[in-house]
Chain A
């Protein structure tokens, strides 16, 4: 039934990674500015619901995506406002919103459960999709796939090559110093929290209009938000590395489906929860690598150091701390 075909496998990885990739990129942006938006798991569901309902009612997929981005941005804005203007714990607010937005999604989306709705169509890119192998893997997809590919590069360029990106990184490192330089930490944190939230919204829309079309309880996107949060750590707060993490994860998911077919005797639950122990394991390795003792042990070996270097990435210094001007 499932013959192994590398081209199809990779193509499905590129397509399947889109929601988690968008969410991971969005959260990377938000955290780079120093705000943790823990509500990802719920806001993905809320925006998935929004996207489906809007697309169903208006018949416009684009409207669905736009409204989903808005929903994601709104949730992130709540986290940011609580942190910046009310000085409340981002983790606490984020967690409350995780549960609340999920329930809100189930509640408001209830009448639309299991309805046949619109979904995104395939748009092979002319010429490019004709390239053997590469064309099939990258350029024979739906538009969210192209968007996600584009956004990886765009994020990197914006963060590391533009003055605005410098301000973004600076605020995540030291808001106080930003204030002294005339950069308003509050405005920047607010703006990028909302931007990151909009990415998360797009991730949700991709779920309900593309990857797993439709709405229901459960939708199937449950748990993705947490994986995305872990992938941000895996990515060392760097957009390209985060993207690599997202693709690796999608690869494992696809492989998991193959495995399920190859080993029918293993209960399905094992494959369903496999991402989570895997997440813990990855974080364990990342943490081990970053310990001083590991760096000591690497000693003079250059190759060891380069491996450690690529695996370690420090969080923005002011991550998760509310900034209060003095």
Chain B
């Protein structure tokens, strides 16, 4: 399938997510779309898949202009998309997920689709059980299922949005093999990524987007330096680090068990010292989330002992954790971190938990003004937090932290941020470390962990499988540990 994209525009108010994008996908090729977060990749792909409507521009499929505006119409043309967040039905079975949207009428067609499913699974050497529940699958397996479903629909042009985030190396290899197989069968594959490495190993052609426009298009073999320049304009500087002396133990866990997430947390023993910057690695839902929530007092362990500053925390409530200077920042900022509907001043007013019946509105407004300036939040004290961009929401969250926190627990602190905002976040967190605050964060990006952390803890299947200093390990060793192959 040949796809021509001509001068696509997508405007949200004054924001131009796509600003005149033109590119061509040749049949039987794997075409990479590179660009940093917010470059407009996802928007373009959602337009191509019919999920959102374009403001203007043309899409040609096999040479003829096609005007479609729903995913169903795109599917009829043979275009299917694997979305970044899996769009499936976790409580239903794998077979139900496979069938949903493909079947009509009221005749039971399970047997027919079971056969179809199993032959596809064999074709790609995947390991999927038709009767399992999707909520028990890993992200990688859910992707496989979704790809099979799209192929069963007769998809000729397959779009994948950041498929390598959060999956194991093995799954990644299996995915890449499948994609190559598809291309060799004459299908076109569009791979969206912000990782240069993915594109290098897989793509025949790469198109780079920046701020809603195409900044260049190159074929194999690639010049990595040139592509990076197209992606970022100027290469981003990595945040500098200076050595920090570690102090006493802040947090220590002994044989802690906790429930939640996909795997829960089992038999976790570790300790964190003052001034340490610890990165938690692992596939999504391998126990890092539970670890952070247990350490932050959001959840209670089902077994084991947790000590904060040498004191057992059993029986203490969240308030006691807060008083000890422990702060947990969740990954979903607007869902779990901020109060949509409240403005910035109200957020600072909430922080004043001292005595007195009345809110000191004047004081809160002053604080908001000062913090907005200091943390360079793009907004006014009266801005509602949901109107801020992701980066500004994260800045606001960090500005709400007390200066003398003892332990910061951050879940994917740079998720969805552009490089500049992310660097600012790391710079800011590093300042905390210099003040002897311990920082523990999780991230799905190993490169990022290796760049900023002093120590890496790897989780697999709810257990800690590796705990090393950054200087004593490398990316290969960590990757092996992430998929449970540590020695």
Contact = CB atoms under 8 A, between A and B. Distances in A.
Q: Are chains A and B touching in the complex at the 8 Å CB cutoff?
A: yes
Nearest to B73: A182
B100 interface: yes
Interface in A164-193: 164-167, 169-170, 173-174, 176-183
Provide the main secondary structure of the chain A interface. helix
B71 A180 contact: yes
B72 interface: yes
Contact of A183 (B91, B101, B259): B101
B121 interface: no
Nearest to A292: B259
Interface of B: 49, 51-52, 70-72, 75, 81, 83, 87-92, 96, 99-101, 103-110, 259-260, 302
A206 to B, nearest CB: 26
A180 B51 contact: yes
Given A169-B92, A182-B72, A182-B75, A293 B87 contact: no
A180 B87 contact: yes
A166 B99 contact: yes
A219 interface: no
A176 B87 contact: yes
A277 interface: no
Nearest to A183: B101
Nearest to A318: B89
Nearest to A161: B108
A132 interface: no
Given A162-B107, A182-B75, A183-B101, A317 B52 contact: no
Contact of B106 (A164, A174, A176, A314): A164
B402 to A, nearest CB: 31
Contact of B88 (A162, A164, A174): A174
A262 interface: no
A296 interface: yes
Contact of A173 (B81, B92, B101, B103): B92
B100 A166 contact: yes
18 contacts: A163-B105, A163-B106, A163-B108, A163-B109, A167-B100, A169-B96, A170-B100, A173-B90, A179-B51, A180-B81, A181-B75, A181-B101, A182-B72, A183-B101, A293-B302, A314-B91, A317-B90, A326-B52
Nearest to A182: B72
Contacts of A314: 91
A163 B90 CA distance: 18
B75 A170 contact: no
A173 B89 contact: yes
A164 B72 CA distance: 17
B389 to A, nearest CB: 17
A180 B108 CA distance: 23
B108 A177 contact: no
Given A170-B92, A170-B100, A173-B92, A179 B105 contact: no
B259 A162 contact: no
A183 B70 CA distance: 10
Contacts of B70: 179, 182
Contacts of B260: 292
Nearest to A179: B71
A174 B89 contact: yes
B106 A182 contact: no
A183 B75 CA distance: 12
Nearest to B75: A182
Contacts of A317: 90-91
Interface of A: 158, 161-167, 169-170, 173-174, 176-183, 292-293, 295-296, 314, 317, 326
Given A174-B87, A181-B100, A296 B52 contact: no
Given A169-B89, A183-B101, 5 more contacts: A163-B103, A166-B96, A167-B101, A181-B75, A182-B75
A170 B89 CA distance: 7
A159 B153 CA distance: 23
Nearest to A163: B103
Most chain B CB neighbours (cut-off 10 Å) among A173, A295, A296, A326: A173
Contacts of B109: 163
**Top 7 A-B pairs ranked by shortest CB distance?**
A182-B72, A181-B101, A163-B103, A177-B87, A162-B106, A173-B89, A170-B100
Contact of B104 (A161, A163, A173, A177): A163
B105 A177 contact: no
A75 B372 CA distance: 49
Contacts of A182: 70-72, 75, 101
A136 B380 CA distance: 75
Given A166-B96, A176-B87, A181 B103 contact: no
Contact of B101 (A158, A176, A178, A292): A178
A177 B86 CA distance: 8
Contacts of A180: 49, 51, 71, 81, 83, 87
A158 B100 contact: no
Given A162-B106, A164-B105, A183 B302 contact: no
Nearest to B71: A180
Nearest to A326: B52
A146 to B, nearest CB: 22
A179 B75 CA distance: 12
B89 A177 contact: yes
Contacts of B302: 293, 296
A158 B96 CA distance: 14
Contacts of A173: 89-92
B108 A183 contact: no
A187 B90 CA distance: 22
Given A170-B89, A177-B87, A183 B100 contact: yes
Nearest to B110: A161
Contacts of B92: 166, 169-170, 173
A163 to B, nearest CB: 3
Contact of A166 (B75, B90, B103): B103
A52 B106 CA distance: 34
Given A181-B71, A296-B302, A326-B52, A163 B91 contact: no
Contacts of A162: 105-108
